[in-house]
Amino acid sequence: FLSLVAEFCCGFFVILILGNFWFVAVLYLLWLYLDWGTPCAGGRRSQWVRGWTVWKYFREYFPIHLIKTSELNPNHNYLLGFHPHGVLVAGAFGNFCTDPPFKNLFPGLTPYLHIMPIWFGCPFFREYIMSAGMVSASKESVSHVLNNEGGGHASVIVIGGAEESLNAHPGSLTLNILKRKGFIKMALKHGAHLVPVFSFGENELFKQVANPRGSWLRNVQEKLQKIMGFALPLFHARGVFQYTFGLIPYRQPIHTVVGSPIPVKQNLNPTTEEIDQLHALYLQKLKKLFEEHKSNYGIPAHKSLIFE
Kind of pairing, strands 254-258 and 64-68?
parallel
Q: Are residues 23 and 117 in the same domain?
A: no
- Tens of pLDDT, residue by residue over 189-198, are 999 999 999 9
Reply yes or no: is the peptide bond before residue 63 cis, omega within 30 of 0: yes
Do 169 and 26 share a structural domain?
no
Q: How far is CA 221 from CA 21, 90, 189, in A?
A: 38, 22, 34
CATH code for the domain in which residue 130 is found: 3.40.1130
Q: Are residues 109 and 196 in the same domain?
A: yes
Predicted local confidence at residue 8, as pLDDT? 66
- Comparison of pLDDT for 246 and 277, the residue scoring more: 277
Distance CA 58, CA 6 (A): 18
Other beta carbons within 10 Å of 30: 10
In this predicted structure, what is the pLDDT of residue 19? 75
Q: What is the mean pLDDT of residues 147-166?
A: 94
The confidence score (pLDDT) of residue 179 equals 95
Least confident of 3-12, 98-107, 129-138: 3-12
pLDDT over threshold 60, residue 1: no
Same domain, yes or no: 14 and 138: no
Closest among 185, 163, 153, 46 to 116, alpha carbons compared: 163
Q: Are residues 118 and 193 in the same domain?
A: yes
| Together in a domain, 16 and 79 | no
Task: Indicate whether 298 pLDDT > 80.
Answer: yes
- Return the bridge partners of 196, or none: 81
User: What pLDDT, on a 0 to 100 scale, did the predictor assign at position 78?
Assistant: 98
Residues 159 and 24 both lie in one domain: no
Torsion of CA 189, 154, 201, 9, to 10 degrees: -100
pLDDT at position 229 is 74
Q: What is the pLDDT of residue 238?
A: 92
Are 145 and 11 members of one domain?
A: no
User: Which pLDDT does position 26 carry in this prediction?
Assistant: 85
Tens of pLDDT, residue by residue over 197-228, are: 999 999 999 999 999 999 999 999 888 888 87
93-122 pLDDT tens trace:
999 999 999 999 999 999 999 999 988 988
pLDDT at residue number 113: 98
pLDDT in tens, 264-292: 999 999 999 999 999 999 999 999 999 99
Residues 137, 27 share a domain = no
pLDDT per residue as tens digits for the range 8-57: 667 766 777 777 777 778 888 899 999 999 999 999 999 999 999 999 99
Cβ distance 136 to 229 under 8 Å? Answer: no
The pLDDT value recorded for residue 7 is: 59
Range of the domain at 27: 1-35
Q: State the total domains in the chain.
A: 2
Say if residues 198 and 81 touch (Cβ distance below 8 Å): no
Q: CB of 271 within 8 A of CB of 177? A: no
In angstroms, the CA 296 to CA 38 distance is 41
Identify whether residues 278 and 141 lie together within a single domain: yes
Same domain, 181 and 291: yes
pLDDT higher than 60, residue 300: yes
My answer on whether 209 and 229 are in the same domain is yes
pLDDT in tens, 169-183: 999 999 999 999 999
CA pair distance 286, 305, nearest whole angstrom: 9
pLDDT at residue 205 in the model: 96
The residue type of 284 is Q
